[in-house]
Structure 1
């Protein structure tokens, strides 16, 4: 072989080896590059444009749920995996790059996974080789799975949108200021508060220009103080925005660098103009409410009078008829009427007590009383009720505690204990109710007493333990409908106990009963100062031997009752319907020995009539007794100041009237028992409707159904006020007659009207009420058949 050929062979061998080394190095570099990319979570692809084929790394295939063996290498398949919405974007990016407009391309897109869902990828690509004619030949790139990042970004965007929405709803904006370069950032709501478009250039002076001139100094002072002091700062001031004053409340805080210098300040700003308006309205409303307290008292006095007048008639007739009727069934009906009337009086008293508490007019009258007497009165008050319900009512108190004589408001304390014992009996179906009294501590001048009432009743849900002491809150509406009540008893009791220096608390478990407990520190009093405990004695009824009495009353039933009562007590009575008639009677002859004067009457009321009668020489000292439902002590003083001699609350019983007459008139004799006085029976046509049961029930069914139809017509016409009045009247009459289902439904209709519920609800309740009327009608027809 010639030397020349040998050199060429050696050169070729070296060249081949060099190429092999470079190829090896290239392959190793590519392998390292692919390894690095795949371990970084990036899939590699290589697109041979000239032949329309793509090659992929294993991780790229795995991203899309494929294996390399089953992965279609065609370019068409690659673009088919792109989400239709993203295909125009990626196509445009690749084409612009291949055309030489960009050095590489970068875009986000969605690729379809093997199971059908899409993943987000960040696609980077670069052309690495062109053909001799300049056409693109080969492009390589990487895909990075950014699905998690996209989800995070979506959550962040949603959070930002919710934050902006929350700021808009609450009228609270946020802001920040970088003290190093003075840049400021406002949220959208902050721009809205200042009435500026969101692209307005910001500066500290810009915001300061909006501050009300009278508040600029306070604003600057607050900012300076916040810079000196660490922690959150607050300031309330006014802005003037587009000629209108806005109240804003700002909270802000400075952030400091390592050397303690202020670096930035960030805060929130809230538009509190509506709150300020409400505060102003509340101040005005408070002033109006305070000035209306007296008017409220007058209204309640009127209401009391209007309610007690018919109750006076009911209780009076019951009192009289119970002395005439002997049939057991009639007696039971009279007892039912009496109990219903007294229940109404209890409700009325609760409402008036709550009114006095609200008006701050609840005064305590401390006097000496014996604990033994208190317990005796309480037992006497509830022993019949407990016996009727087959419950054991007991009092547990050590003899030393029973023997105590203390100073306090015994009637109010009896009212509290009566409420607690009455509730315990009401909500206990079987078992016992126990009042316990214990002297926890005693020194020379004070006894600290613990009162508790325990029952074995239904118990109270834990969530209700605090709420039951709120006014008009009841434990269970179903039980309340069955047993009655206003929801005021516990609230009033709590107020009374707090006025005495204590607080009621309750321990209860559903199904196992309840214990109500309170402690009072009461001053000790001398034994002789206590009033004796009244004992049961045979009642005695006076007879007044023809004394002349004038009854001044505008209510027809009350006239009949008082007339019959006074005649039953041996008096001769005349009736006047108002003050002017009373004055005319007083001017006649012969003169009256006593005048019973109603307070509220048309034309001339009781006070005016009393003053006019007192100016007559013959009546300057004649006893004039007020008949009124006014329950406040100042009302009694008003009667006395007008010249009246005494005050008698409605409803009036025969015994009560006899006691008042005995105080002012000498009686001819005393009968040993009330039954000895024979009252003339009322003529049938003058008997009150409540006692003509069949006729009255028939009338109630007919008129009640007609009223219910009128109520529905008012509702359909959008006339809710007269509909509420009809529901109220229907409830009252039905309750008085014992039609409890109708009364309960009428109550629900009234509440629905008050709450302005949809007419469909009212129609539904009215339909149920009509069905109850139908049942009542059928039962009545069966009874009278």
Structure 2
């Protein structure tokens, strides 16, 4: 009351009325930041009753209750039994003490839970407390901070004490203020470490070094990091220690905080790793390995010098980008390489491992083995880093390809040649066959075969032979090479070549056998066929009536057919294998034959010997026409001569007879041409002189007939000369002859000799040369004369034409005579044939046909219009 009175008195001193004072207090009450409330204090029989009266705006905001909602409420009604009882107890304590009290309390309001710092002041009237004025400040946030600070402190203490690193705090004088458990264990001190210095813990040198480090932090205000070796009871410990300055509220450095990590094992690992790195670098350099390190987030790749050198580059020529690798991979290899890399990145393979080609600086392709591994992934499992190596396997790949080609060639060769291999292990009794051996026996390749089974495959007649040979191989180390028969699973018999070689151990004992097995059935069949063919050929050679023989350089007979042997009075068996000088009847013949043989062998050129004499065993001299050809003996490769000699003794006799007949014919031709022709010219001349002196026409007609007959007889002698020349010609040599000259000459001759002939030329005669000889004129003369002689018209009209047709020239001679029936057009060119009503010999057209055929041409007859014939001659042009 005194205070209230003083308060009222104070208000009055400012000339403020009671009503004004109440207004002032009311305003202050309502506008205070703290929550203010008034509790009415009533008395009960055994205690107090507290009910809420007024509360200001701050109280209403903090509690969420209006003044009307609170007025008349007791603490229990307002806050519940538990909190209401606690609040009422504090109100009672304030009333009973009769003085202001302060405390902190947590209350649940409709607006939420709050922590209040509450001050209760009793108001007395007439010596009795009738009201309590409460002022509450919301310290909820402060209390939460304190709680968080306490939790953080406890966590810090827990972390600090459980850290493996040693943590300490020293003041500016070097005294320890704090050590965590790891630090205490390291320095082997108990919990009472506060106030100790480094001098208490370390040798003087170590303590001074530690103090110097502390001073550096205190003076510079910077964090330092040092690597130090600390002596401990367990030995020296290598530590990485970081020391940092600690500041007070004024920013002054007052302490040093240190964190020391044990890096003893790390340093040991680093030393070991360095050793490994050094060794690896030596190994990489020695093995010429290219190293790559790929940052998969940026596609930057680090290539070592050897990687670049492997491709013919220096390291500075290679950009550190993935594209440098990609653009050098062979286009055909890039897709499978990228597939292998994707599979590894996806975790499907433990390593990325491929072999591919890469382009070198010279543009060539080199085989590289590329092995790598993803060594780092991020939190989501995505690859971050991969490392790997390049190994130059170009030579290896080339060897592999060559080996593969060789292996394939061997396999194809073995299969083509039906050659397989087999191996027998004497120690365990196992027999191994190659695929080809299985095929030869027609046994499934997955079927195992014992030695006894293999022996059973041999033909019963050959089984004893192979058993004996195999026993000698095992017991005596003797190899074998046999040609035997085997019976396949199908029952078919095949010939095989079986080869076996012993295999020895280091002591020289036989431990097994290795051999080849070849199907030689076709060769055997060929040999049989060859032998049969040889026998047939021998029979054929012996049937040849001419001498067939072969001799080597030494004159030894390698072959002599029956005719050769009979000439020597021997059989072929008695001749073959012996020298010619030993068996020939006349040794002088042998010397000449021997010289011919050696010339053919030395020159390597065949030789035709037109005539050589051989004295037979009967003493008869025969003339031989011999052909000798050089050849090599297939079995030995030695030089030899093959001879074929025909007995031309009778032919030579006939040729001599023919030569005599030729001489007689030549003489006869000269007589015909000279004596008979001269007599006919006398007859023709004198008859022409008599024509004009004859008394009548009939006589003159007879005379002219004689003259015409004489002329025809002269022509016949001319034709006879031509026929004789053809018959006496040897060979058929042709030479270029000018067609225009020869044809023109014969046309002019017919015009001069034949009074009743009128010869015309259609167009120009081509100025070309044909392949013929001197008798070409006879072809044209006979055809022109034939057109006059066999013409029944008073005037023989003859038309001559010629044209070039391709590589030949065609000459046509047309007349106006009676013509030739189709059935006679072929016959008139035959020897002795005559035209109808012809008085000629029939030799002229035969001569024409013979000569034209000789020249390589053709001649035929066609019908002329309206009557007559056309003789056509076609001759080849000279080049």
TM-score, normalised with respect to structure 2 = 0.38
Name the structure where helix makes up a greater proportion of residues: 1
TM-score, normalised with respect to structure 1 = 0.42
Which structure would you say has the larger RCO, counting Cα contacts within 8 Å and 6 or more residues apart?
Answer: 1
Name the structure where strand makes up a greater proportion of residues: 2
Greater CA radius of gyration, 1 or 2?
2
